[in-house]
Chains A and B, each alone.
Chain A
Amino acid sequence: MAELQPLSFAIFVLITLATIGISIYAARRVRTAGHYYVAGGGVRWVVNGFAIAGDYLSAASFLGITGLVAFSGYDGFIYAIGFLAGWIVALFLVAEPLRAIGKYTFADALTSKFKSKKIRLVAAISTLVISVFYLIPQMVGSGAIVGPLIGLDYEIGVVVIGALVILIVATAGMVSTTWVQFIKGFLLLIAAIALTIGVLVVAGMGPIEFLGQFLSGDVNIPTAGGGVNTVPGDVFMSPGMKYTNPLDFVSLAMGLILGTAALPHILIRYFTVPKPADARKSTVIAIVVMGIFYLLTLYLGLGANFFGTLDPSDANLAAPMLAMHIGGEAFYAIISSIAFATILGTVAGLIMASAGAIAHDIYTEVLGRKTDEKRALRISKATAISVGVIAIVLGILAKGQNVAFLVGLAFAIAASANLPALLCTLFWKRTTEWGIVTGIVVGLISSIALIVVSPAMMSEGALFSLFNPGIVSIPLGFAVTMGVSLLTSDRVKSEATEKTAG
């Protein structure tokens, strides 16, 4: 491939320049760390709602789910359902109380109760690990899309997007990130609607008729070797194509519903609105936008399968190739550029979360370097640049993996390490400092260890038979957090009485 296409290139440059223009405009208002991390806490809920949707509908949702549905049918759709279901946890349990106690970062919220440096340190580390796990698929997506779009090689594509994001984040922080996300969330919704309408019009069928016709016939799935795998439609449209082991299905579903409300880069979005009620309202906006979008991914994926716009060597390209088939090169360029902007925005949000963890949590709070705001701001920007560089390197190494699958792992890690700590801090009075510290550490280590010994990493003789570690590591995270809390609660109580007596 690697051939420059002038029209695609022009549209791509236009969207990218618009994004950078917004950042530079927004950067003029950034003067303090509060502005940098959470946009001064003054974002309107409607804007934040779209920005949350923009943040969340990453390359994994647009490129990854479309590809998975196209190749695995119903098992791809389960990602769409799980990604959305996770927001119910955020809406009913997390959004409002979190806004009431948090300031800049996820660790801030956890330490509001115990003022503990240990908690802050482990929370910052888990923020970093999860964000990096989430970053890898975004970089993979960017490399996959930039290549065919403007004629660059995969590696150069990853470097280009990395450099752009670093520029955006380093100049303006959360204000520009918010606006980039807002615009992107909006564009993505429009793109998905346009593509779906295109699929139905070109196929000449109604929405239910289109889904129904898959059940009656056979479905062709191209394989990497150049052949075609034909399966009956009702098998394709039922669980079991990808997740032959039912337990794998359960583990994934669990990781997805519990992981969302524990993703650090999503949680920090709640600190950008003024009031707890605004946090709830922006969640509702986000759910509406994302719900519509995920419903449409079913049509995008099946459309790609229907028209045979599939590249077995890279499932992530199903959506742009579908656009090419339906609307020609211009439409293809627009869709690809929006996908690119999608990645740009999500990576910016992730790097913001990582920068907050290192600069605010570890440097300022744990190491106790109480420096002036200007210096703190410089350090966050330096962090943003280094995390960006790390993401570029990892993105190049992970070439060819399905992005929705990779993101599913990030969800499982977040659900195992962060969710028990967050829910216990908010709702369980007997939680102790040590309960939170050990819970995060055990959740983090166990989920990563299970991924390392899973079939995805060890092709033969995997020690752990499931692709997603959620079903083991999430209950373990909760059990350790609560168990250790109960074991250490007596000591805390006697310390407390000593304090009041003294």
Chain B
Amino acid sequence: MSTILLATDGSLPALAATVRAVAEAKQRSATLVILRVVEQSPMTSLELASESAALQRPEGEDGIEYAKELAALDRVPTTVMVREGPVVGEIIRAAEETGAEMIVLGTSSLKRLNRLYLGSVAKSVVSQAPVSVLVVKPTKEETKMVKARVREVIEPSPAKAVAAITRTRQFRVGLYLFAAYVIGYSIFVLFGSYIRDVFQIPTFGLNVGLVSGILIIILTIALAIGFNAYAVRAEREE
């Protein structure tokens, strides 16, 4: 199976590149390798913040989650690699290791000082890569669209928010319990309406109707407490 390597740092151009890379991988039915390289020299938080600002990186986003979500939407299989070291070298090495047939990355038109300071990763990768490199330089419209999609992925849509709950094991267990309860309640209602004689049979010093009514109330309480205990434990395991 062929692979496509996406190098991302969560900057807007990289996110635009992600969109293109997913489309390419889908077309070639290739696996998408998501690579995030963490710079070797430890940066102070101030440096990191100024870099984020220069690259227009959406806050709290390192690009991996975004790429995974996008790929999942198009059913493109992914592998994630996080490397530490010089950015260009690690991208080339990862491409060789995974046998990628193409490298996709983003670049932006950096202005003045930022260009001097950050240099161009894309330029170096193009000159050293063993395979084709798709350098994505997003237009204004593309940037806008990518921003909108980021918001969508980070703030899940209502359907996804519901699915995140209904997919859990505890919710499915709840459905079975619910079905069982409804069946029990229906039997109770059936006896209370069309087979009323049964409700008059004496039991435990009372009659069947009273005993089953009281039992339903007690069972409801027990079911609620028991299910909650189960769900809390399941949530902790997640």
Inside 8 A of A91's CB, which chain B residues have their CB? 174, 224, 227
Least CB distance, B178 to chain A, in whole angstroms: 4
Inside 8 A of B181's CB, which chain A residues have their CB? 85, 88, 92
B217 touches A295 (CB 8 A): yes
A291 touches B165 (CB 8 A): no
A247 to B190, CA, bound (A): 10
Inside 8 A of A84's CB, which chain B residues have their CB? 216-217, 220
Interface residue B42 (Cβ < 8 Å from any Cβ of A): no
A239 to B198, CA, bound (A): 11
A97 touches B166 (CB 8 A): yes
Closest to A111 in B: B158
Which bucket holds chain B's interface residue count? 35 or more
A340 to B182, CA, bound (A): 34
Interface residue A249 (Cβ < 8 Å from any Cβ of B): yes
A250 with B189: in contact, given A112-B158, A237-B207, A284-B225 (CB under 8 Å)? Answer: yes
Interface residue B235 (Cβ < 8 Å from any Cβ of A): yes
Inside 8 A of B207's CB, which chain A residues have their CB? 215, 234, 237-238
Inside 8 A of A284's CB, which chain B residues have their CB? 224-225, 227-228
A80 to B159, CA, bound (A): 35
A257 touches B185 (CB 8 A): yes
Interface residue B54 (Cβ < 8 Å from any Cβ of A): no
Query: How many CB-defined contacts (below 8 Å) exist between A and B?
Result: 137
Interface residue A405 (Cβ < 8 Å from any Cβ of B): no
Interface residue A87 (Cβ < 8 Å from any Cβ of B): yes
Q: Which residues of B line the A interface, CB within 8 A?
A: 158-159, 161-162, 164-166, 171, 174-175, 177-178, 181-182, 185, 188-189, 192-194, 196, 199-200, 202, 204-207, 209-210, 213-214, 216-218, 220-221, 223-225, 227-228, 231-232, 235
A254 to B177, CA, bound (A): 18
Segment touching B, from A53-61, A204-212, A349-357, A440-448:
A204-212
Residue among B188, B223, B224, B227 with most chain A CB within 10 A: B224
Inside 8 A of B159's CB, which chain A residues have their CB? 113
A80 with B217: in contact, given A237-B210, A283-B224 (CB under 8 Å)? Answer: yes
B228 touches A92 (CB 8 A): no
Q: Which 7 interchain pairs have the tightest Cβ spacing?
A: A246-B193, A112-B158, A92-B178, A100-B161, A291-B221, A287-B224, A92-B174
Q: In residues 228-275 of chain A, which contact B (Cβ within 8 Å)? A: 234, 237-240, 246-247, 249-250, 253-254, 257
B217 touches A100 (CB 8 A): no
Inside 8 A of A250's CB, which chain B residues have their CB? 189, 193
Closest to A277 in B: B235
A246 touches B174 (CB 8 A): no
A81 touches B221 (CB 8 A): no
25 contacts between A and B (CB under 8 A): A74-B199, A78-B192, A81-B213, A85-B216, A88-B220, A88-B224, A93-B178, A96-B171, A208-B204, A211-B210, A237-B209, A237-B210, A238-B200, A239-B199, A239-B209, A253-B185, A253-B189, A277-B231, A277-B232, A281-B228, A287-B224, A288-B224, A291-B221, A292-B221, A294-B217
